[in-house]
């Protein structure tokens, strides 16, 4: 089988089984409609993704060349099964036999993927306004939350991010944006290892991004 010899991404090398690879390949074929590659429009057929408030960002992340571990920037027009495995490697559940170094690398890989979702202009920084916009988009999916309340919470999240990342600044200083190092600080103490899933693919050990 051609896909069986595809290189397995580094995060997938931890306790991955042939059964899991076969399961993902079935999902890939379902998404691609039995074609060799997946294009953005293939995600239109996923019911669980249709009403996700950050649907566009999730789909964008699957084609982001930074997440595909390619040298070039920008977006890929389509992804093959090897690319699909690379993306899905970010959503691997934690393994019980991971040592401290592996856990740290595992966490940083997941947060890097999330960072890229916020950094929509690919400049390596997230402006506070970009951060606020994503939070507001996420909250917009809550039917019990009014728009004004969502906007207030998003404003509060932006100010909290500023206090963590900016700290004390001089009057002549300009904050250019949240770096990945800042982003790590913001997520310190939050269990991203078990929270980052993709439910819309209906893969047993994988559920949604939040």
pLDDT single digits (tens) 79-112? 999 999 899 888 877 777 878 888 888 889 989 9
Cβ distance 132 to 154 under 8 Å? yes
pLDDT at 171: 53
Say if residue 185's pLDDT is above 80. Answer: yes
Cβ within 8 Å of residue 82, ≥6 positions away: 3, 6, 7
SS3 content of the chain, % helix, strand, coil (to 5): 55, 5, 40
Residue 79 DSSP SS3: strand
3-state secondary structure of 23: helix
* Distance separating alpha carbons of residues 109 and 166, to the nearest angstrom: 24
Residue range(s) of every CATH 1.10.238.10 domain in the chain: 15-90, 99-195
Residue 64: phi and psi, rounded to 5, are: -70, 120
Superfamily name with CATH number, domain 99-195:
EF-hand (1.10.238.10)
40-58 pLDDT, tens digit each: 999 887 877 777 778 888 8
Question: Is pLDDT above 70 for 203?
Answer: no
Would you say domain 15-90 falls under CATH 3.40.35.10?
no
């Amino acid at each position: 089988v051609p896909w069986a010899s595809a290189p397995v991404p580094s995060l997938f090398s931890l306790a991955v089984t042939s059964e899991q690879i076969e399961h993902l390949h079935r999902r890939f074929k379902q998404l691609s409609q039995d074609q060799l590659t997946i294009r953005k429009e293939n995600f239109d057929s996923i019911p669980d993704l249709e009403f996700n408030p950050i649907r566009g960002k999730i789909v964008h992340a699957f084609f982001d060349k930074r997440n595909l571990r390619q040298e070039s920037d920008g977006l890929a027009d389509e992804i093959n099964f090897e690319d699909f495995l690379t993306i899905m490697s970010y959503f691997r559940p934690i393994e019980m036999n991971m040592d401290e170094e592996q856990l740290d690398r595992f966490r940083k890989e997941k947060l890097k993927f999330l960072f890229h979702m916020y950094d929509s202009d690919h400049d390596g920084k997230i402006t506070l306004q970009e951060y606020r916009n994503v939070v507001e988009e996420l909250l917009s999916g809550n039917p019990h939350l009014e728009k004004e309340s969502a906007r207030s919470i998003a404003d509060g999240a932006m100010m909290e991010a500023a206090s963590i990342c900016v700290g004390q600044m001089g009057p002549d200083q300009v904050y250019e944006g949240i770096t990945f190092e800042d982003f790590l600080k913001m997520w310190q103490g939050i269990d991203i290892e078990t929270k980052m899933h993709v439910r819309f693919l209906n893969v047993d050990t994988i559920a949604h991004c939040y």
